[in-house]
Structure 1
Amino acid sequence: MQAHGENKPYLCEQTSSRKRHLVPQMIIHSRKKHYSCTICGSIFSQKGNLIQHKKTHVEEASYSCEVCSYVFHEKEKFASHMKAHRKKTYSCAQCEYSSSYEQSLVKHIRTHTGEKPYSCEQCGSSFSQKSTLTEHIRTHTGEKPYSCEQCEYSSSHKYDLVKHIRTHTGEKPYSCQQCGYSFSVQSNLVKHLRLHTGEKPYSCEQCGNSFSRKAHLVQHMRTHTNEKPYSCEQCGSSFSQKSALKRHIRTHTGEKPYSCEKCGKSFSQKAHLVQHMRTHTNEPRLK
Structure 2
Amino acid sequence: MGKQAEDTTYSCKECSSSLSTMSGLKKHMRTHTGNKTYCEVCGALLSTMSGLKKHMQLHSGNKPHSCKECDLSFSRAASLKLHMRIHTEEKPYSCEVCSKTFVTNDNLQVHRRIHTGEKPYSCQVCGNTFTSKSNLNTHMRTHTGVKRLKPHICDVCGNSLSSKVNLKFHKMRHTGEKPFSCDVCKLAFSSKGGFTNHLLRHKGEKPHSCEVCGLGYYSKGGLRLHMYTHTGQKPYSCEVCGLPAAVKSVLKKHMRIHTGEKPHSCEVCGSLFLSKSDLKVHMRIHTGEKPFSCEVCGSAFRTSGSLKIHMRRHTGERPFSCEVCGSSFAVKVALKIHIQTHTGEKPFSCEICGSSFSRKYYLKQHMSKHSGEKRSFCDVCGSSFMNKYYLKTHMRSHTGEKPYACKVCHSAFNSTSSLNVHMRKHTGEKPYSCEVCGTRFCEKAKVAIHMRIHTGEKPFSCEICHSAYATKSQATRHKKLIHGFNKNV
- TM-score of Structure 1 vs Structure 2, range by shorter chain: 0.5 to 0.7
Match of 2:293 in 1: 203
2:359 to 244, 269, 272: 269
Q: How far apart are the structure 2 equivalents of 1:183 and 1:115?
A: 33
Match of 2:124 in 1: none
Match of 2:199 in 1: 109
Match of 1:46 in 2: none
The one-letter amino acid paired with 2:247 is H
* 3-state SS of 2:314 partner: helix
Superposition pairs of residues 1-287 of structure 1, within 5 angstroms = 92-97=182-187, 102-260=192-350, 263-270=353-360, 273=363, 282=383, 286-287=472-473
After superposition, the C-alpha distances for 1:4-60 in whole angstroms (9 at most, x for unaligned) are: xxxxxxxxxxxxxxxxxxxxxxxxxxxxxxxxxxxxxxxxxxxxxxxxxxxxxx9xx
Q: How far apart are the structure 1 equivalents of 2:263 and 2:282?
A: 14
Q: How far apart are the structure 2 equivalents of 1:247 and 1:125?
A: 40
After superposition, the C-alpha distances for 1:253-283 in whole angstroms (9 at most, x for unaligned) are: 3321123466432222345557767999859
**Structure-2 change in CA distance of 1:246 and 1:68 (3 Å):** farther
Which of structures 1 and 2 has the bigger CA Rg?
A: 1
The one-letter amino acid paired with 1:165 is M
Q: How far apart are the structure 2 equivalents of 1:97 and 1:201?
A: 17
The one-letter amino acid paired with 2:335 is L
After superposition, the C-alpha distances for 1:221-253 in whole angstroms (9 at most, x for unaligned) are: 111111111223454432100101111232343
**Structure-2 change in CA distance of 1:224 and 1:99 (3 Å):** closer
**Structure-2 change in CA distance of 1:66 and 1:256 (3 Å):** farther
Q: How far apart are the structure 1 equivalents of 2:249 and 2:62?
A: 26
**Structure-2 change in CA distance of 1:193 and 1:68 (3 Å):** farther
Q: How far apart are the structure 2 equivalents of 1:97 and 1:272?
A: 46
TM-fit CA distance, 1:174: 0.5
* 3-state SS of 1:206 partner: coil
The one-letter amino acid paired with 1:106 is T
TM-score by length of 1: 0.60
Q: How far apart are the structure 1 equivalents of 2:60 and 2:344?
A: 60
Q: Percent identity?
A: 49
Q: How far apart are the structure 2 equivalents of 1:150 and 1:66?
A: 41
**Structure-2 change in CA distance of 1:122 and 1:250 (3 Å):** farther
Give 5+ residue unaligned stretches, structure 2.
1-51, 53-57, 64-74, 76-151, 153-162, 169-178, 375-382, 385-393, 395-470, 474-489
Q: How far apart are the structure 1 equivalents of 2:346 and 2:364?
A: 14
Match of 2:91 in 1: none
Q: How far apart are the structure 1 equivalents of 2:341 and 2:359?
A: 10
Q: How far apart are the structure 2 equivalents of 1:101 and 1:274?
A: 50
* 3-state SS of 1:199 partner: coil
TM-score by length of 2: 0.38
After superposition, the C-alpha distances for 1:190-213 in whole angstroms (9 at most, x for unaligned) are: 122122222222222211222222
Greater RCO (CA < 8 Å, at least 6 residues apart): 2
**Structure-2 change in CA distance of 1:175 and 1:102 (3 Å):** closer
